[in-house]
């Protein structure tokens, strides 16, 4: 179902998007060869925006430290991958896809300490039947002892994978916006690398891969995301003029019910980047308007997304069924702290 905002009244143009749900730096690994080695773990960072291991390999030319980069901790938890299996000082087997931009970085695929288990971050197990994550049989994530009976959309939701989309060669951008998008370097220009908490639409379109909970809050609705514990407030039946509200990263969101669907219109967004797979670093301005539709289909929550910024786009961005989340009975939204991407400590 296509959604259109009452505010603009513009005819939205349906578009299909990317096949891969990638993080900001994944492009550097697209064609990298797989490298497998053994070494000693010298650093472990199990947080967001990325889980990272530094593993020291003894080579003929001397020791070499490899940085193995995985997804954020909040993304991994519902695959059964948690901290504690690998520690500093462990001798491990490791494998990852080589970076095309940095000669000592790998996209983490597998790592296994002595005695296992093998942790699988991409693909399947390489060395052991005792494996967690990836395509292996992962244990269920931590749940509460008893799950409360859900009421409509008010529960914890988890993204379980994307749908293949056709990708336009480039986004429909104004000339200045296109030049800025083409100049954007995700390894240099992404504010999240320094733990600058992302805003809209990224907190839903990208960080929507992490568990989040929809909660009643008096007459309003809150969306509590495991993405750095951010909380959006959806103002229901609000008569506040958005133009009187100070701009913020998450913007000002007003909601209404259309049958069984929650429709949310968001304006007054100060976050500088429009991030929507496969596009990263499109500039956006405070004239951006976003319309989201959350529709309950059994134990699934379907997310339709519409957006338009006249200063950036040539036409609206309309993505029906952009994400589909599943209900995880008893799953809790937990802390997901951040360590700056290039921190050396």
Residue scoring higher pLDDT (286 or 276):
286
The reported pLDDT for the residue numbered 139 is 47
| Same domain, residue pair 128 and 167 | no
For residue 45, the domain's CATH number is: 2.40.50.140
Specify if 341 maps to a domain: no
How many CA within 13 A on the CB side of residue 31?
Answer: 2
Specify if 222 maps to a domain: yes
| Same domain, residue pair 123 and 173 | no
| Same domain, residue pair 183 and 82 | no
The reported pLDDT for the residue numbered 99 is 85
CB atoms within 10 A of CB 28: 19
User: How many structural domains does the chain have?
Assistant: 2
The reported pLDDT for the residue numbered 145 is 45
> Taking a C-beta distance cutoff of 8 angstroms, is the pair 113, 85 a contact?
yes
Q: Mind listing the pLDDT tens digit for each residue in 219-250? A: 999 999 877 678 999 999 778 898 899 999 99
The reported pLDDT for the residue numbered 45 is 86
Q: Answer whether residue 338 shows pLDDT above 50.
A: yes
In the numeric block, which tokens belong to residue 163? 């749908």
Q: Answer whether residue 60 shows pLDDT above 70.
A: yes
Q: Answer whether residue 31 shows pLDDT above 60.
A: no
Mean pLDDT of the chain: 81
Q: How far lies 12's CA from each of 3, 15, 150, 198, in Å?
A: 8, 9, 34, 26
| Same domain, residue pair 188 and 298 | yes
Domain membership of residue 196 as a residue range: 156-327
Closest CA to 12 of 28, 20, 1: 1
The reported pLDDT for the residue numbered 259 is 92
| pLDDT band, residue 9 (cuts 50/70/90) | very low
> Taking a C-beta distance cutoff of 8 angstroms, is the pair 133, 123 a contact?
no
| Same domain, residue pair 299 and 202 | yes
| Same domain, residue pair 52 and 196 | no
Specify if 8 maps to a domain: no
**Residue 278: cis peptide before it, omega within 30 degrees of 0:** yes
Residue that finishes a domain, picked among 133, 164, 193: 133
Residue whose token pair is 């080589």: 98
Residues 6+ apart with CB under 8 A from 87: 41, 44, 113
CA distance 323 to 113: 35
| Same domain, residue pair 100 and 170 | no
CA distance 151 to 61: 62
Q: Mind listing the pLDDT tens digit for each residue in 296-333? A: 999 999 999 999 999 999 999 998 988 899 987 877 77
| Same domain, residue pair 266 and 165 | yes
In the numeric block, which tokens belong to residue 94? 């490791």
**Percentage helix, strand, coil, to 5, in the chain?**
10, 40, 50
| Same domain, residue pair 44 and 116 | yes
Closest CA to 261 of 291, 231, 288: 291
Specify if 257 maps to a domain: yes
Residue that finishes a domain, picked among 133, 167, 198: 133
Residue scoring higher pLDDT (237 or 175):
175
- Strand 273-276 relative to strand 261-267, pairing: unpaired
| Same domain, residue pair 128 and 160 | no
CB atoms within 10 A of CB 314: 14
Specify if 338 maps to a domain: no
The reported pLDDT for the residue numbered 93 is 96
For residue 245, the domain's CATH number is: 2.40.128
| Same domain, residue pair 213 and 272 | yes
Would you give the DSSP letter of residue 196?
-
| Same domain, residue pair 314 and 218 | yes
């Amino acid at each position: 179902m296509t959604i259109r905002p009452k505010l603009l009244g513009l005819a939205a143009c349906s578009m299909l998007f990317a096949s891969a749900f990638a993080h900001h730096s994944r492009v550097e690994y697209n064609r990298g060869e797989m490298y497998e080695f053994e070494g000693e773990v010298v650093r472990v960072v199990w947080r967001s925006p990325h889980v990272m291991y530094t593993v020291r390999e003894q080579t003929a030319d001397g020791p070499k430290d490899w940085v193995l980069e995985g997804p954020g901790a909040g993304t991994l938890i519902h695959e059964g991958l948690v901290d504690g299996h690998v520690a500093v000082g462990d001798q491990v087997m490791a494998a990852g896809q080589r970076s095309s931009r940095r000669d000592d970085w790998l996209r983490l695929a597998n790592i296994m300490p002595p005695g296992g288990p093998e942790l699988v971050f991409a693909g399947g197990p390489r060395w052991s039947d005792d494996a967690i994550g990836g395509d292996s049989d992962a244990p269920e994530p931590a749940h509460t002892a008893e799950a409360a009976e859900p009421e409509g959309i008010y529960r914890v939701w988890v993204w379980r994978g994307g749908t293949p989309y056709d990708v336009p060669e480039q986004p429909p951008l104004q000339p200045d916006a296109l030049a800025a998008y083409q100049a954007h370097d995700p390894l240099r220009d992404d504010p999240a690398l320094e733990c600058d908490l992302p805003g809209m639409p990224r907190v839903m379109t990208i960080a929507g891969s992490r568990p989040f909970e929809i909660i009643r809050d008096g007459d309003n609705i809150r969306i509590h995301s495991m993405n750095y514990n951010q909380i959006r407030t959806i103002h229901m039946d609000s008569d506040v003029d958005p133009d009187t509200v100070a701009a913020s990263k998450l913007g000002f969101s007003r909601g209404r019910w259309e049958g069984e669907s929650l429709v949310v219109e968001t304006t007054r967004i100060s976050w500088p980047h429009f991030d929507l797979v496969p596009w990263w670093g499109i500039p956006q301005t405070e004239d951006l308007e976003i319309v989201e539709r959350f529709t309950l289909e059994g134990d699934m929550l379907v997310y339709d997304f519409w957006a338009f910024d006249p200063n950036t786009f040539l036409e609206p961005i309309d993505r029906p069924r952009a994400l589909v989340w599943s209900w995880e009975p008893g799953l809790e939204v937990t802390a997901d702290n951040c360590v700056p991407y290039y921190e050396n400590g």
